[in-house]
């Protein structure tokens, strides 16, 4: 197994190895999970098998996160530069991009050629969409890097769910405004997932388009110029839809509408839980404090991190946006989600349960200490939350990783 050596500031030699090195292949293979259900349906004729990915993601994955527990494998800071330069990890992010196309075209082909009920066809569209939400996660990792190939691979991956604005919105908008009321991708305390989606989706698209239009205008080009990075990705998305319609018929239009919507909602699910209720403060001059690890919710569960390119080590990602997934570190003293992302998605889809679990967890954070004025609070929920909690310090819940 590949190891890395370094020297501490005090001159002490250190050695570290990534015990998960080969397990990162799970992030590459995870988009292919719909084919398990398809294979079982082909063998048995039972359409229920087509929905197996729902069981894998929303039942088995949360259980596995509990069983496997937290991940103590943290790379020393002295090792991070070497780890970032190891091309093995980079090639994995390259390899996953074509597999997103394989997953979409494979599921669409099965839906369009097999004698399935309408319910099964639409169900496959849902499964394909949830799976293509992973393409946005792959593009998230690629789009933060400065190489030309990685930036283009991000655009190509985003074409699968027709979410071409994401890299611009995320890198230049979300990372700038994260954990502020101005950021549509930062959920507010007391804001339900469903209300968040209605604010986040149009807000993110609008912000990305305005930023890209401004960039092109400053270069003397029309916002509709072919250099528009959003339109470049969307052009590929149009080719995908046209190809599917030609190959499998008009059923692919509702199939792709459902597919795209579910992929978008999957991304919104992650956005919702990653900064819920957290607020960056302003000084007396109105200057916004620098984003720090405690402005993101972190999670250190083994399995869900292995299939999401370490997305759940979100605190380190926002502190060091250019750091590659294999180098992201876990912090003990930052906001910790109660479980992995898949389990948190289920909580988020049931707002009363999410509020019950998370609101006190927000208020118990040391830098908030029960003060609602130090949270990113939903204006609609402000009166209700102040009536319930006031400004008194809350009893600290168990903040497990």
Please report which helix (H) or strand (E) contains residue 4, including its range: strand 3-7
Q: Which residues pair with 256 in a beta bridge?
A: none
Query: Is the model's pLDDT at 353 over the cut of 80?
Result: yes
Question: Inter-axis angle of helices 351-363 and 341-348, to 10 degrees?
Answer: 120
Residue 9, pLDDT score: 79
Q: Is 65:340 a contact under the CB 8 Å cutoff?
A: yes
pLDDT tens readout for residues 321-330: 999 999 999 9
In terms of pLDDT, which residue wins out, 362 or 72?
362
Please report which helix (H) or strand (E) contains residue 15, including its range: strand 13-17
Query: Is the model's pLDDT at 399 over the cut of 50?
Result: no
pLDDT tens readout for residues 254-278: 999 999 999 999 999 999 999 999 9
Residue 392, pLDDT score: 47
The beta-strand segments (E) located in 77-187 are none
pTM equals 0.93
Q: At a CB cut-off of 8 Å and minimum separation 6, what does 332 contact?
A: 401
Q: For residue 126, how far is the Cα from the chain centroid?
A: 18
Question: Inter-axis angle of helices 118-143 and 34-44, to 10 degrees?
Answer: 160
Q: Is 25:92 a contact under the CB 8 Å cutoff?
A: yes
Query: Is the model's pLDDT at 348 over the cut of 50?
Result: yes
Structure tokens at 249: 């018929």
The Cα angle at residue 247 between residues 242 and 253, in degrees rounded to 5: 50
Band of pLDDT at residue 205, cut at 50, 70 and 90: very high
Residue 200, pLDDT score: 98
Residue 283, pLDDT score: 87
Residue 177, pLDDT score: 96
Query: Is the model's pLDDT at 65 over the cut of 90?
Result: yes
Alpha carbon of 389 to those of 118, 139, 369, 376, 385: distances in Å? 48, 40, 12, 15, 6
Band of pLDDT at residue 8, cut at 50, 70 and 90: confident
Q: What CA–CA distance (Å, rounded) separates 212 from 203? A: 14
The position carrying tokens 């319609």 is 245
Exposure on the CB side of residue 312, measured as CA atoms within 13 A: 25
Query: Is the model's pLDDT at 391 over the cut of 70?
Result: no
pLDDT tens readout for residues 116-154: 999 999 999 999 999 999 999 999 999 999 999 999 999
Q: What are phi and psi of 177, to 5 degrees?
A: -105, 5
Q: What CA–CA distance (Å, rounded) separates 6 from 121? A: 54
Residue 398, pLDDT score: 41
Residue of 367, 396, 371, 346 lying closest to 62 (CA atoms): 346
Q: Is 328:71 a contact under the CB 8 Å cutoff?
A: no
pLDDT tens readout for residues 285-318: 889 999 999 999 999 999 999 999 999 999 999 9
pLDDT tens readout for residues 18-41: 999 999 999 999 999 999 999 999
Q: Is 181:190 a contact under the CB 8 Å cutoff?
A: no
Query: Is the model's pLDDT at 387 over the cut of 80?
Result: yes
């Amino acid at each position: 197994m590949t190891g890395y050596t370094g020297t501490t500031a005090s001159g002490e030699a250190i050695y570290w190895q990534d015990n998960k090195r080969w397990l990162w292949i799970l992030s590459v293979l995870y988009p292919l999970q719909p084919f398990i259900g398809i294979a079982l349906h082909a063998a048995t004729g039972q359409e229920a098998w087509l929905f197996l990915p729902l069981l894998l993601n929303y039942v088995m994955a949360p259980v596995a996160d509990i069983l496997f527990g937290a991940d103590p494998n943290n790379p020393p800071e002295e090792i991070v530069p070497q780890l970032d330069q190891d091309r093995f990890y980079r090639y994995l992010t390259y390899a996953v991009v074509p597999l997103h196309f394989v997953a979409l075209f494979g599921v669409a082909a099965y839906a369009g050629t097999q004698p399935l009920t309408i319910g099964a066809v639409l169900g496959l569209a849902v499964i394909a969409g949830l799976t293509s939400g992973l393409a946005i996660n792959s593009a998230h990792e690629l789009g933060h890097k400065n190489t030309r190939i990685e930036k283009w691979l991000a655009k190509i991956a985003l074409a699968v769910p027709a979410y071409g604005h994401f890299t611009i919105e995320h890198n230049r908008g979300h990372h700038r405004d994260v954990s502020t009321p101005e950021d549509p991708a930062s959920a507010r305390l007391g804001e339900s997932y469903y209300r968040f989606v209605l604010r986040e989706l149009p807000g993110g698209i609008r912000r990305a388009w305005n930023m890209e239009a401004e960039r092109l205008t400053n270069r003397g080009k029309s916002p509709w110029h072919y250099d528009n990075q959003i339109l470049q990705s969307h052009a590929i998305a149009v080719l995908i839809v046209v190809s599917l319609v030609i190959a499998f018929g008009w059923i692919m239009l509702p199939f792709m509408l459902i597919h795209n919507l579910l992929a978008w909602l999957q991304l919104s699910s992650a956005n919702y839980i990653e900064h819920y209720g957290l607020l960056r403060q302003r000084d007396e001059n109105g200057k916004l404090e620098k984003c720090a690890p405690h402005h993101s919710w972190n999670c250190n569960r083994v399995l869900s991190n292995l299939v999401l390119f370490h997305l759940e080590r979100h605190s380190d990602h926002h502190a060091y946006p250019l750091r590659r997934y294999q180098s992201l570190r876990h912090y003990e003293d930052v906001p910790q989600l109660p479980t992995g992302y898949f389990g948190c998605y289920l909580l988020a889809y049931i707002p009363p349960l999410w509020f019950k679990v998370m609101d006190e967890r927000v208020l118990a954070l040391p830098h908030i200490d029960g003060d609602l004025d130090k949270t990113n609070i939903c204006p609609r929920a402000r009166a209700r939350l102040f009536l319930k909690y006031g400004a008194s310090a809350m009893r600290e819940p168990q903040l497990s990783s």
